[in-house]
Amino acid sequence: MAPAIDVLSSKNSDHVAATCKDYNISLGQFEDLRARAVEAKSVAYCPYSNFRVGCALLTADDSIVTGANVENASYPVGTCAERVTIGKAVTEGHRGKFKVIAVATDISPPASPCGMCRQFIREFCDLTMPILMFDKNHDYVVLRLEDLLPLSFGPEHLQIDRGS
């Protein structure tokens, strides 16, 4: 059976302090990421699903880049908030490993990044990077990328000698 996953409250200062300590995030960064991810839901373009997802990314230089899901009349063409945000950050010139990714939705309990986004995140982050997932009540779950995507494939695997 899968282990139980804690749902924490961003209104509980003990929960937030423990998360910040465990994942090496400042209290200010946690609150900024939460607020910016929640705010980013307002720019989601989701007329087909009506399911808003906001995302906030803490970059290597401690700036925050935000984004939201962008859907399309040809449904599979739509893009998740995480990939919109990471693509935006990369094309704004952010090249170092991202430090934290936060996502926010209007449901409860929190939603987690889809499989395709987990792989997309994998390209630009350490396996230990925390992913903060906020629900409609600002309760949250935090897990590391390696928890959401075990035994993953990444850029370093393409460097392994494959013989001649």
In this structure, are residues 137 and 108 in contact, taking their beta carbons and an 8 Å threshold?
A: yes
The CA distance from 73 to 75, in Å, is: 5
31 is a catalytic site residue: no
Instruction: Tell me which H or E stretch contains 66.
Output: strand 64-68
Unique residue bearing structure tokens 């992913």? 131
Residue 135 contacts ligand THU per CB under 6 A: no
**Where does this chain touch ligand THU (CB under 6 A) — which range of 24-32, 57-65, 111-119, 135-143?**
111-119
Q: Locate tokens 């209007």: which residue?
A: 106
- Cβ atoms of residues 155 and 123 within 8 Å: yes
Binding flag, residue 114, ligand THU (CB under 6 A): yes
Q: Under rule CB under 6 A, which residues in 63-82 are in contact with ligand THU?
A: 69, 71, 78, 80-82
Which one among 8, 18, 35, 46 touches ligand THU, defined by CB under 6 A?
Answer: 46
CA-based nearest residue to 102, from 4, 23, 34, 19: 34
12 labeled part of a ligand binding site = no
Nearer to ligand THU, 17 or 114 (CB): 114
Catalytic residue from among 82, 92, 146, 156: 82
Closest CA to 59 of 86, 80, 38: 86
**Using rule CB under 6 A, residue 8 touches ligand THU:** no
Nearest to 138 by CA among 26, 20, 36: 36
Annotated ligand binding at 23? The verdict is no
**Which residues are annotated as catalytic?**
82
Give binding residues as ranges: 69-75, 80, 114, 117
Q: What residues line the site for ligand THU (CB under 6 A)? A: 46, 49, 51, 53, 69, 71, 78, 80-82, 113-114, 117
